[in-house]
């Protein structure tokens, strides 16, 4: 009998990579998609369009984590062995614009799934997509499973709720419910408005003279960036371990947004030089044209300045470690973008 998994958030970056991983492992994968006026399945279309024989292994259902009855009915009907809750309004800056919806989906969404598990079958294993954003204004360095949280956005506050409700249900109802505390992870499938994708896409276009400028916010924040392909392996390993627990998943290396820009520029042989400070800081091309400007509108009401994790626990116990470093990540993202641009010709 194949194992079955239910993925909330299957159309997102991680949902797409996780689906591929589980299908390769022989799972039947059920994914929840939201009704949308425009098509939102582009990251999983190639999986779904596999020959007919494979379709019975990858099944999509309409649902929404803000709709408790759809969550309950899906879990009851599908009877999965494992549930991965990746569904979220995942953009930190947007969470300041839509705080109530973000809290409903990201915090209460987790509660709805956990509560359905208790009522339907407490043996179902549950993975909660936690975030390094929960550390926010960091209380110690590098961050581990023991570092206290200090969330700095409605998104991060919601994720802290989801983290603790997962622990509470584990302790109260003896559920196999786990938190992954994942640091930033990127890929060619990253959403277009996250900073790495925005930078790679724009610099590739600027190099080919298809775009003049890139506008960014705070380029001095530092992140621990990994590759999504590695991080979904950790999600799976977390649910295969003999007992439920909470796990930090990261690379342990840190770069600023500005360093990321410089590495991408170097990778595509785009000469850039920086001048000015603060909102007046700009990057110039070899022929002295402004190619990057800083805009106030991309700054957040409160920022997370400095994230760097320590995933020794996952390394030691789960035998997980990242395979791809930042150079591999940038290479993958650049290759994807350049191919897309050449197809547009
Ligand atoms: P993503 O690309 O933004 O994907 C989010 C997914 O959630 C999409 O499939 C989206 O559907 C779905 N979704 C949003 N609201 C929903 C709702 N109300 N009901 C059902 N589905 C809903 O995010 P990601 O980068 O793959 O991240 C996956 C999860 O890990 C998220 O929970 C995120 O917060 C968390 N996380 C991400 C990172 C990271 O660096 N990527 C790090 C730590 C934690 P649509 O396609 O229809 O919008
Ligand atoms: O920002 C700065 C911005 O939006 C990274 C989500 O997946 O990872 C992600 O959250 C940094 C921030 O990611 C722009 O201020 C500058 O300091 O790519 P980001 P994030 O906020 O770290 C965590 C772990 C999650 O859980 C989230 O779901 O870059 N930045 N200029 C900018 N950021 C954006 N988006 N756009 C800019 O123009």
Q: How do residues 78-110 score in pLDDT, each as one tens digit?
A: 999 999 999 999 999 999 999 999 999 999 999
Task: Specify the pairing of strand 226-227 against strand 185-186.
Answer: parallel
Measured from the Cα of 300, ligand 2's closest atom is 15
> Apex CA 192: angle with CA 189 and CA 194, to 5°?
95
Question: Ligand 2: does its nearest atom lie under 6 Å from the Cβ of 184?
Answer: yes
Q: What CATH number does the domain containing 283 carry?
A: 3.90.25.10
Q: Which residues pair with 28 in a beta bridge?
A: 4
Residues 232, 128, single domain; the answer is yes
Ligand at shortest distance from the CA of 156: 2
pLDDT digits (tens, 9 = 90+) for 103-119: 999 999 999 999 999 99
Ligand at shortest distance from the CA of 162: 1
Residues 87, 55, single domain; the answer is yes
Res. 76: pLDDT tops 90? yes
The answer to pTM > 0.95 is: yes
Q: Is residue 329 part of a domain?
A: no
Measured from the Cα of 181, ligand 1's closest atom is 43
Residues 170, 281, single domain; the answer is no
* Contact in structure between 28 and 53 (CB atoms under 8 Å): no
Neighbours of 196 (CB within 10 A): 23
Q: Is residue 328 part of a domain?
A: no
Pocket test for ligand 2, best of 95, 191, 195 (most atoms within 8 A of CB): 195
Residues 206, 74, single domain; the answer is no
Provide mean pLDDT across the span 112-131: 98
Question: Ligand 1: does its nearest atom lie under 6 Å from the Cβ of 224?
Answer: no
Q: Is residue 55 part of a domain?
A: yes
Pocket test for ligand 1, best of 45, 74, 87 (most atoms within 8 A of CB): 87
User: In three state form, how does the secondary structure of the chain look?
Assistant: CCCEEEEECCCCHHHHHHHHHHHHCCCEEEEEECCCCCCCCCCCHHHHCCCHHHHCCEEEEECCCCCHHHHHHHHHHHCCCEEEECCCCCCHHHHHHCHHHHHHHHHHHHHHHHHHHHHHCCCCEEEEEEEHHHHCCCCCCCECCCCCCCCCCHHHHHHHHHHHHHHHHHHHHCCCEEEEEECCEECCCCCCCCHHHHHHHHHHHHHCCCCCCEEECCCCCEECCEEHHHHHHHHHHHHHCCCCCEEEECCCCCEEHHHHHHHHHHHCCCCCEEECCHHHCEEECCCCCEEEEECHHHCCCCCCCECCECCHHHHHHHCCCCCCCHHHHHHHHHHHHHHHHHHCC
Q: Is residue 28 part of a domain?
A: yes
Residues 97, 116, single domain; the answer is yes
Question: Ligand 1: does its nearest atom lie under 6 Å from the Cβ of 87?
Answer: yes
pLDDT for the residue numbered 56: 82
Question: Ligand 1: does its nearest atom lie under 6 Å from the Cβ of 188?
Answer: no
Question: Ligand 1: does its nearest atom lie under 6 Å from the Cβ of 88?
Answer: yes
Neighbours of 223 (CB within 10 A): 25
pLDDT for the residue numbered 289: 97
Residues 16, 79, single domain; the answer is yes
Residues 208, 81, single domain; the answer is no
- C-alpha 244/C-alpha 179 separation (Å) is 9
Which two tokens mark 309?
């994790």
Q: Is residue 246 part of a domain?
A: yes
pLDDT digits (tens, 9 = 90+) for 11-65: 999 999 999 999 999 999 999 999 999 999 999 999 987 765 566 899 999 999 9
Residues 208, 231, single domain; the answer is no
Question: Ligand 2: does its nearest atom lie under 6 Å from the Cβ of 201?
Answer: no
Residues 77, 212, single domain; the answer is no
- How remote is the CA of residue 101 from the centroid of ligand 1, in Å? 13
> Apex CA 47: angle with CA 28 and CA 8, to 5°?
55
Question: Ligand 1: does its nearest atom lie under 6 Å from the Cβ of 131?
Answer: yes
Question: Ligand 1: does its nearest atom lie under 6 Å from the Cβ of 12?
Answer: yes
Residues 148, 285, single domain; the answer is no
Provide mean pLDDT across the span 189-193: 98
Q: Which of 207, 185, 219, 211 lies closest to 334 in space, CA to CA?
A: 207
């Amino acid at each position: 009998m194949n194992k079955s998994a239910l993925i909330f958030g299957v159309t997102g970056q991680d949902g797409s990579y996780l689906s591929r991983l589980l299908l390769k492992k022989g799972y039947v994968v059920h994914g929840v998609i939201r009704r949308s006026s425009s098509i939102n399945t582009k990251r999983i279309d190639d999986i779904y369009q596999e020959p007919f024989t494979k379709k019975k292994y990858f099944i999509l259902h309409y649902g929404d984590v803000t709709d408790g009855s759809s969550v309950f009915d899906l879990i009851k009907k599908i009877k999965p062995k494992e549930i991965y809750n990746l569904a979220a309004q995942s953009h930190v800056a947007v969470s300041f614009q839509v705080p109530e919806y973000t809290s409903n989906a990201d915090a209460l969404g987790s509660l709805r799934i956990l509560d359905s598990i208790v009522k339907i079958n407490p043996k179902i294993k549950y993975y909660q997509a936690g975030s390094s954003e929960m550390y926010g204004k960091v209380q110690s360095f590098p961050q581990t499973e023991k570092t206290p949280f200090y969330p700095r956005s409605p998104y991060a506050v919601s994720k802290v709720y989801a983290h603790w409700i997962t622990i509470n249900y584990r302790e109260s109802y003896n559920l196999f419910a786990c938190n992954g505390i994942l640091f930033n992870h990127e890929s060619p499938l990253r959403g277009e408005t996250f900073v790495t994708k925005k930078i790679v896409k724009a610099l590739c276009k600027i190099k080919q003279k298809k775009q003049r400028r890139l506008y960014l916010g705070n380029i001095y924040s530092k992140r621990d960036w990994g590759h999504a392909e590695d991080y979904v392996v950790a999600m799976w390993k977390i649910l295969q371990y003999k007992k439920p627990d909470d796990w930090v998943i990261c690379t342990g290396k840190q770069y600023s947004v500005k360093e990321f820009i410089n590495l991408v520029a170097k990778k595509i042989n785009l000469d850039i030089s920086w001048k000015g400070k603060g909102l007046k800081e700009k990057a110039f091309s070899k022929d002295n044209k402004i190619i990057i400007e800083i805009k106030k509108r991309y700054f957040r009401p409160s920022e997370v300045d400095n994230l760097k994790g320590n995933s020794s626990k996952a390394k030691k116990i789960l035998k997980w470690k990242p395979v791809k470093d930042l150079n591999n990540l940038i290479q993958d993202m650049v290759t994807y973008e350049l191919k897309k641009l050449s197809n547009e010709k």
